[in-house]
Amino acid sequence: MDWGLFNLGSLILGLVAWTLPVINLVRYKNNDYRNWGVLAVISISACAISLYFQIVYDYHLVEIEDWSALMDTSGAVVRVGGVLLIGTLLLNAITVIVCLDRSAK
């Protein structure tokens, strides 16, 4: 198995997690805010799977006892994972607030 694909998959899913709320906000400006909830759920799911891929990759490094790689990357993984999680939650919270405010009017 090519374990590096977990990193690539994590990156792609992280980008999806941030792109979908932006699409929701662009569609909102065009008065087309149907299915915003589905896209928000997919976005948060992509974020969760992205973080899971990083956990699996780190577990692989532990299994093969590649301690130097684990020590070199763990700090960055924690910081980037936090940025991904906070960014995804903020973008989706903005989407929910905007779309629910629009629906109420």
- Indicate if the pLDDT at residue 104 is higher than 70: no
Both tokens of 43, joined, read 């976005």
Count of structural domains within the chain: 1
Report the residue count for the chain.
Answer: 105
- Indicate if the pLDDT at residue 105 is higher than 70: no
Give the three-class secondary structure for 57: helix
pLDDT band at 34; cut points 50, 70, 90: confident
pLDDT band at 39; cut points 50, 70, 90: very high
Report the run of H or E that residue 62 belongs to, with start and end.
Answer: helix 36-63
CA distances 56 to 38, 49, 76, 80, 92, Å, are: 27, 10, 16, 16, 25
Q: Summarize the confidence of residues 33-42 as an average pLDDT.
A: 87
What is the pLDDT, as a whole number, of residue 53?
A: 97
Range of the domain at 69: 4-104
What is the pLDDT, as a whole number, of residue 103?
A: 61
- Residue 75 to residue 77: CA distance in whole angstroms: 5
What is the pLDDT, as a whole number, of residue 17?
A: 98
- Residue 50 to residue 41: CA distance in whole angstroms: 14
**pLDDT one-digit tens code per residue, 60-100:** 999 999 999 999 999 999 999 999 999 999 999 999 998 88
What is the pLDDT, as a whole number, of residue 36?
A: 86
Q: Does the pTM of the predicted model rise above 0.75? A: yes
